[in-house]
Structure 1
Amino acid sequence: MVDTAASSYAFALADVANSNGTLEATIADVEKVDCIFSDPTVQSFFANPTISPEKKQEVLKEIASSSELQPHTTNFLNILVDMGRIDIIEDIVKEFEVCYNRITGTEVAVVSSVVRLETQDLAQIAQSVQRLSGAKNVRIKTVIDSSLVAGFTIRYGPSGSKLIDMSVKKQLDEIAAQLDFSSIALA
């Protein structure tokens, strides 16, 4: 279950971004923050209670500058450090995406493939998901999954409940299911 504090922080950031017209820039910031904080070294630095909040703020200032974060995103991260809640940044990122999607009428589609798909292929997938879901916008997240053999899968809808499976793995599984060799005794 997602931390309710994460939900509250995410909603507050989304509200500020929406009211000052920087929702698109803020979602880009949040994605950068997610990438930065997915590094275990960064996580352990900010989780370390022996490092002073001032030192953490210094490092945040460098991160914000090098990542070109919006001022309100930087302030938000500073508040999390001050409040000792930077440890829930991953949950805040997930919740912010939910808020963003709700505000903008966006459907997220996770496309898994063996190789990186071309931009035009992803655009066609986005159009198909938009048509199927009725969403105003579609954001594509890509995942590389070598177990698919070839082809791709698309997962969208509430909690990824809808699946379009165009993978070779699925086709192989279906063929294997049709070929029931259980009654054959091997010599």
Structure 2
Amino acid sequence: MAALQQTPITFQYSSRVTAKLHPQNPLKLSFSGSSSFLKLPKLTVKITGKRRGGARMADSAAGSYAQALADVAKSNQTLESTAADLEKVEKLFSEPAVKEYFINPTISIEKKRELLDEFAGSSKLQPHVVNFLNILVDMKRIDLIKEILKDFWVVYNKLTDTEVAIVTSVVKLDSQHLAQIAKGVQRLTGAKNVRIKTVIDPSLVAGFTIRYGSSASKLIDMSVKKQLEEITAQLDLGDIQLAV
């Protein structure tokens, strides 16, 4: 893919204390607090799809953008804080209304950048992360944001020797239990770091499951649902008809 250079982007955003979505306009934010203006530095993104930082990305637009952002974060020694920023971005774009807003061709780029400015101010995103998001909007590639984030985590995990464990439970587990799970996964995999992602699933009845490994292919199932399924299979209750 040919190299791409983005011209410097200068914009302003307002700091805020509170923000909420208006029912009649889910993307109109209301702010309180003083305003400030910030000139953000230039971010140049080169799209190459080459091997960088010990992690090989697929020859795709999303993979190339993800690798470029990881390269910037690594070069300015902000890989961890960039990852934290992208968790906020991931949460923002998990809202269907937000995604629809940014991919809507009838909404101007200026309006989309205004919303990004507000989000940047409220979330205290780093300048290079904000510039990167604006580049995606300007180039009309913001529709790739979920794929870019997915590929970024692949690069990040390889650069930091991080194993991702998806913990699914009926209720939210406390930090102590999650820390114990992380240590267990670390012993199993030998990874330097373990990043926990949590999912709530009431159908488990009780207990929890842990998925880890490549494409979350390995499973540890400690749920009551699994135990009930095993008991049912052992008793072969499928052919039993209960008297009424």
Scaled by the length of structure 2, what TM-score is found? 0.73
How many Å apart are 1:19 and its aligned residue?
Answer: 1.1
The answer to whether residue 224 in structure 2 is matched with residue 172 in structure 1 is no
Q: Show the 5 A alignment for 1:1-187.
A: 4-181=60-237, 184=240
Instruction: List runs of 5+ in structure 1 lacking aligned partners.
Output: none
Partners of 1:108 and 1:141 within 8 A in 2: yes
Instruction: Report the 3-state secondary structure (helix = DSSP H, G, I; strand = E; otherwise coil) of the residue aligned with 1:165.
Output: strand
Q: 1:178 to 1:32 in 2, by over 3 A?
A: same
Per-residue deviation at 1:49? 1.2
Contact 1:114/1:147 (8 A) holds in 2: yes
Higher Cα Rg: structure 1 or 2?
A: 2
Partner SS, residue 107 of structure 2: coil
Q: Which runs of no fewer than 5 residues in structure 2 stay unpaired?
A: 1-57
Q: CA RMSD in A?
A: 1.6
Find the aligned partners of 2:87 and 2:150 in 1 and give their Cα distance.
10
Runs of 4+ residues deviating >3 angstroms:
181-187
Instruction: Describe the SS at the equivalent of 2:117.
Output: helix
- Alignment length, in residue pairs? 186
- 1:44: how far off? 1.8
2:220 partner SS: strand
User: Deviations 1:25-76 (Å, cap 9, x if unpaired)?
Assistant: 1111111011111122221221111222122222211111111101000010
Structure 1 letter corresponding to 2:76:
N
Q: Which residue of 1 aligns with 2:27?
A: none
Measure how far apart 1:3 and its partner are: 8.6
Conservation of the 8 A alpha-carbon contact between 1:153 and 1:166: yes
- How far apart are the structure 1 equivalents of 2:136 and 2:73? 17
Deviation at 1:156, TM superposition (A): 0.2
Q: Summarize the Cα distance change of 1:185–1:40 in structure 2 as closer, same or farther, 3 Å threshold.
A: closer
Q: Which range moves more in the overlay, 91-100 or 52-61?
A: 52-61
Measured at CA, do residues 71 and 176 of structure 1 come closer, stay the same or move farther in structure 2, by a change above 3 Å? same
Percent identity over the alignment?
A: 70
Mapped contact 1:3–1:91 kept (Cα < 8 A): no
Query: Which stretch of the first structure deviates more once superposed, 156-165 or 55-64?
Result: 55-64
Report the Cα distance in structure 1 between the residues aligned to 2:225 and 2:132, rounded to whole angstroms: 44
Between 1 and 2, higher relative CO (CA 8 Å, sep ≥ 6) is seen in 1
Cα separation, 1, equivalents of 2:193 and 2:161 = 6
State the Cα distance separating 1:181 from its structure 2 match.
3.8
Q: Is the 8 A contact 1:110 1:156 kept in 2?
A: yes
Partner Cα separation in structure 1 for residue 93 and residue 79 of structure 2: 21
TM-score by length of 1: 0.94
